[in-house]
């Protein structure tokens, strides 16, 4: 394995000189251009690769950012992680994924601790276990660790939250324009989506009916959730006087729901219109392509990383809460009310 000492010996300079050149500090320490060129040429000839651990020891940084989320098979997280990976690489960093199963808050924090043990310089966190009174939360607040919470708002920590109301209003306006006046909500249990849903339904004069929900054991996520949503679609399809529109909590669950309807001979959007949340690119490849309340995922990740790098550089130690407006991504899963 080639070391900086090997390069120093061949170049006739000291090892610290080689370190400064290869770490981009040659000019600031008045190392001549000729020496810098010589050192880099030798390093390239020997196929030198700097030690990750050595760099971290010298700089105090690993140049890595953590991305902690739940089910990576959910296209919402997959697309977010892909955007984050590209953005951190543009800054010369690497993205390290941390997966949690959301069995319990203890499990969530254990996964978080595991990610921190890898020495990441900052974390984009999709979870809800960081809460006042829990040791890891108090540590994050006290140390002002470069952490941004997405879709969750614990106090004293930076947060980025989607503002669902604009997109949900557009969704109900579209349904109303197609003659709908009754809607079923499927798995809108979280207040961040349920409150905008009910507010828009009231504003546009819709009758809201609760859809069937089957409980799921957390240890069996996510497969059982998808199967239960399919069962919920069966129940909905068998209703004699069902609403002509459904709003469901995510693109991934909408795919399972539409599949269940299809198995019962109920077609979207001929027999029922479906609108979901997330607006993932995957939704455009569904049958039919899915109309969805879309989040600006690129802006969410951009803002999160912008703040993380500001805190890494010690330029910002505040704890902002940023809301990013949603908008409706209109595709082909909404049609005229079949029972006007």
Note whether 155 and 168 are same-domain residues. no
pLDDT at 16 over 70: yes
Note whether 280 and 197 are same-domain residues. yes
Note whether 223 and 261 are same-domain residues. yes
pTM for the complete prediction?
Answer: 0.80
The CATH number covering residue 13 comes to 1.10.260.40
Note whether 149 and 257 are same-domain residues. no
Which structural domain, as residue segments, surrounds residue 168? 164-294
Note whether 108 and 221 are same-domain residues. no
- Could you give the CA distance from residue 286 to residue 251 in angstroms, rounded to a whole number? 10
Note the pLDDT of residue 323. Answer: 95
Note the pLDDT of residue 218. Answer: 52
Note whether 170 and 100 are same-domain residues. no
* Confidence band, pLDDT 50/70/90 cuts, at residue 219: very low
3-state SS of the chain is: CCCHHHHHHHHCCCHHHHHHHHCCCCHHHCCCHHHHHHHHHHHHHCCCCCCHHHHHHHHCCCCEEEEEECCCCCHHHHHHHHHHHHHHHHCCCEEEEEECCCCCHHHHHHHHHHHHCCCCCEEEECCCCCCCCCHHHHHHHHHCCCEEEECCCCCCCCEEEEECHHHHHHHHHHHHHCCCCEEEEECCCCHHHHHHHHHHHHHCCCEEEECCCCCCCHHHCCHHHHHHHHHHHHHHHHCCCCCCEEEECCHHHHHHHHHHHHHCCCCCCCCCEEEEEECCHHHHHCCCCCEEEECCHHHHHHHHHHHHHHHHCCCCCCCCEEEEECEEECCCCCCCCCCC
Note the pLDDT of residue 51. Answer: 55
pLDDT at 112 over 70: yes
The answer to the question of residue 335 being in a domain is no
pLDDT at 165 over 80: yes
More confident residue, 229 or 216: 229
Note the pLDDT of residue 261. Answer: 97
The CATH number covering residue 318 comes to 3.40.50.2300
Note whether 88 and 183 are same-domain residues. no
Note whether 255 and 282 are same-domain residues. yes
* Confidence band, pLDDT 50/70/90 cuts, at residue 221: low
* Confidence band, pLDDT 50/70/90 cuts, at residue 56: very low
Mean pLDDT of the chain: 88
Q: What is the mean pLDDT of residues 321-336?
A: 96
**Poorest-pLDDT segment among 97-106, 147-156, 204-213:** 97-106
Note the pLDDT of residue 60. Answer: 52
* Confidence band, pLDDT 50/70/90 cuts, at residue 117: confident
Query: Where is the domain boundary, 277, 294, 311?
Result: 294
Note whether 37 and 98 are same-domain residues. no
Note whether 272 and 179 are same-domain residues. yes
pLDDT at 55 over 60: no
The answer to the question of residue 337 being in a domain is no
Note the pLDDT of residue 72. Answer: 80
Q: What is the pLDDT of residues 122-141, one digit of tens each?
A: 999 998 888 999 998 998 99
As for how many domains the chain has, the answer is: 3
Q: What is the pLDDT of residues 251-276, one digit of tens each?
A: 999 999 999 999 999 999 999 999 99
Note the pLDDT of residue 92. Answer: 85
**Poorest-pLDDT segment among 89-98, 193-202, 236-245, 266-275:** 89-98
Note whether 206 and 104 are same-domain residues. no
The answer to the question of residue 331 being in a domain is no
């Amino acid at each position: 394995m080639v070391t900086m000492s090997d390069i120093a010996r061949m170049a006739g300079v000291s090892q610290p000189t080689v370190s400064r050149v290869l770490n981009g500090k040659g000019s600031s320490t008045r190392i001549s251009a000729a020496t810098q060129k010589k050192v880099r040429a030798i390093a390239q000839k020997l196929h030198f690769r700097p030690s990750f651990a050595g760099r971290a020891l010298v700089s105090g940084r690993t140049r890595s950012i953590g991305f902690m989320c739940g089910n990576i098979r959910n296209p919402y997280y997959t697309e977010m992680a892909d955007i984050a990976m590209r953005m951190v690489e543009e800054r010369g960093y690497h993205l390290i994924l941390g997966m949690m199963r959301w069995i319990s808050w203890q499990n969530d924090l254990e996964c978080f601790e595991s990610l921190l043990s890898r020495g990441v310089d900052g974390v984009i966190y999709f979870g809800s276990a960081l809460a006042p009174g829990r040791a890891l939360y108090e540590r994050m607040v006290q140390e002002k660790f470069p952490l941004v919470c997405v879709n969750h708002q614990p106090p004293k920590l930076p947060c980025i939250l989607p503002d669902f109301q604009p997109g949900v209003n557009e969704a109900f306006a579209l349904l109303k324009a197609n003659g709908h006046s009754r809607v079923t909500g499927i798995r809108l249990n979280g207040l961040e989506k349920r409150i905008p849903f009910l507010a828009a339904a009231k504003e546009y004069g819709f009758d809201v009916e609760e859809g069937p929900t089957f409980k799921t054991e957390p240890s069996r996520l996510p497969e059982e959730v998808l199967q239960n949503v399919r069962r919920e679609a069966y129940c909905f399809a068998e209703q004699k006087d069902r609403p002509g529109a459904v709003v469901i909590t995510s693109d991934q669950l909408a795919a399972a729901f539409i599949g269940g309807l299809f198995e019962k001979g109920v077609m979207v959007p001929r027999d029922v219109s479906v609108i979901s949340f997330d607006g993932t690119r995957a939704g455009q490849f569904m049958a039919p392509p899915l109309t969805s309340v879309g989040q600006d995922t690129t802006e969410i990740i951009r803002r999160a990383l912008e703040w993380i790098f500001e805190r890494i550089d010690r330029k910002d130690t505040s704890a902002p809460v940023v809301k990013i407006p949603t908008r409706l991504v209109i595709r082909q899963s909404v049609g005229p009310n079949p029972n006007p």
